[in-house]
Chains A and B, each alone.
Chain A
Amino acid sequence: MTNWWPGRAARALVIAAALAFSTPVFALQPPTAAAQDGFVPVSRAAQQETIPAARLVVIAYGFAWVMLLGYLWSIWSRLGKVERELLAVSRRIDAGERRG
């Protein structure tokens, strides 16, 4: 009876270690068999969902729109700034030439 403790404890430790190391592996497994080779169309999407797809789709499209519009705006803004600076410099040059 005095000898049981190390053996049980060691077994428990081995099991705990195995579970701890296997958890990330289980977490990486896909819960559904998502199509990899080709897409098969259906007329309706599944009604019951654990993760709401609509929110993910809206965020994805919203992000793409914001990024693209934001980038176009940034080009327009930077171009405007450079063109204003060009105009100011050329005015200064013209004024200098007239004085000189």
Chain B
Amino acid sequence: MFMMAPFLIDGAPYESTMGLVQKIFYFHVPSAMTMFVSAFVCGISSAVFLFKGRAAADRLAVAAAELTSVFGIIVLVTGPLWARKAWGVWWVWDERITSTFVLWLIFNAYLLLRKYGGAGSERLAAGLAIFGMANVPFVYWSVNVWRTLHPKTTVVPTLQPGMRGPFWFCVTAFLLLYVLAITARAHLEAERARLEEIYLSIEE
């Protein structure tokens, strides 16, 4: 699907005010959608781990946090590249862009906490992930509530047929890649846990 995407994007019509640079939209928005999905997966799994104590949910949360960070950096890099041409500036501290940056920082804080927080940090990180997830609706609605330069949420539902097909194709490709990546990353975390158990049993 990722091989086919450039051909579909190339065939999509140009946007009247932005021209060629608007084509960044076909990777920028699916990345943002995947980042939101990943933040929700991380928040929900963290809540399950915090309240039910399931280790598998914690492993899924770690995997989802890492993917939120990866898709977040794609959003935060492709966005300014688009903005440079469309707005004439690389970055504007408006509500959508700033809140997206804060969301990305929260999930990076989660990962740093998991790596360097020591024993018991997984419960603290789980609380952080729930707050990170709660930030997602604010990021999404920010363009409708405040006056910003960023395109509004009405863009996707009102896409013209020529743009709609390639866009949803890219969204599907990103979500399928996400499912593949999170499965592999959660498996890695499970294998690490198994290795740790073996080392602990040897020590005993």
Chain A residues near B (Cβ < 8 Å): 27-46, 49, 51, 53-54, 56-57, 59-61, 63-65, 67-68, 71-72, 75-76, 78-79, 82-83, 85-86, 89-90, 93
Shortest 4 CB-CB contacts between residues of A and residues of B: A41-B13, A45-B19, A53-B21, A34-B86
Residues of B within 8 A of A43 (CB): 13-14
- In the complex, the answer to whether B28 meets A60 with C-beta atoms within 8 Å is yes
Shortest beta-carbon distance from A27 to chain B in Å = 7
Residues of B within 8 A of A33 (CB): 17
Per-position contact with A for B191-202: 1 when CB-CB < 8 Å, else 0?
A: 110110011001
Query: In the complex where A30-B88, A75-B181, A75-B184 touch, is A86 in contact with B195 (Cβ < 8 A)?
Result: yes
- In the complex, the answer to whether B85 meets A42 with C-beta atoms within 8 Å is no
Residues of A within 8 A of B158 (CB): 37-39
- In the complex, the answer to whether A75 meets B154 with C-beta atoms within 8 Å is no
Query: In the complex where A37-B154, A39-B163, A71-B70 touch, is A60 in contact with B78 (Cβ < 8 A)?
Result: yes
- Picked from A63, A65, A71, A85, the residue with its CB within 8 Å of the CB of B77 is A63
Per-position contact with A for B19-49: 1 when CB-CB < 8 Å, else 0?
A: 1111111011001000000000000000000
Q: B145 within 8 Å of A by Cβ?
A: no
Query: What are 25 inter-chain pairs, A to B, with CB distance below 8 A?
Result: A31-B87, A31-B88, A32-B88, A36-B150, A37-B151, A38-B155, A39-B155, A39-B163, A41-B14, A42-B14, A44-B14, A46-B19, A56-B82, A56-B85, A57-B81, A60-B81, A60-B82, A65-B2, A67-B73, A68-B74, A75-B188, A79-B187, A79-B188, A82-B195, A86-B198
- Picked from A27, A36, A37, A53, the residue with its CB within 8 Å of the CB of B85 is A53
Query: In the complex where A45-B14, A72-B181 touch, is A39 in contact with B159 (Cβ < 8 A)?
Result: yes
Nearest CB to that of A90 among chain B residues?
B198
Query: In the complex where A30-B86, A82-B191 touch, is A57 in contact with B15 (Cβ < 8 A)?
Result: no
Nearest CB to that of B66 among chain A residues?
A71
- In the complex, the answer to whether A36 meets B86 with C-beta atoms within 8 Å is no
Residues of B within 8 A of A29 (CB): 88
Shortest beta-carbon distance from A56 to chain B in Å = 5
- In the complex, the answer to whether B195 meets A53 with C-beta atoms within 8 Å is no
Residues of A within 8 A of B105 (CB): none
Nearest CB to that of A71 among chain B residues?
B70
- In the complex, the answer to whether A89 meets B195 with C-beta atoms within 8 Å is yes
Nearest CB to that of A80 among chain B residues?
B188
Shortest beta-carbon distance from A40 to chain B in Å = 4
Q: In the bound complex, how far is the Cα of B139 from the Cα of A28, in angstroms? A: 21
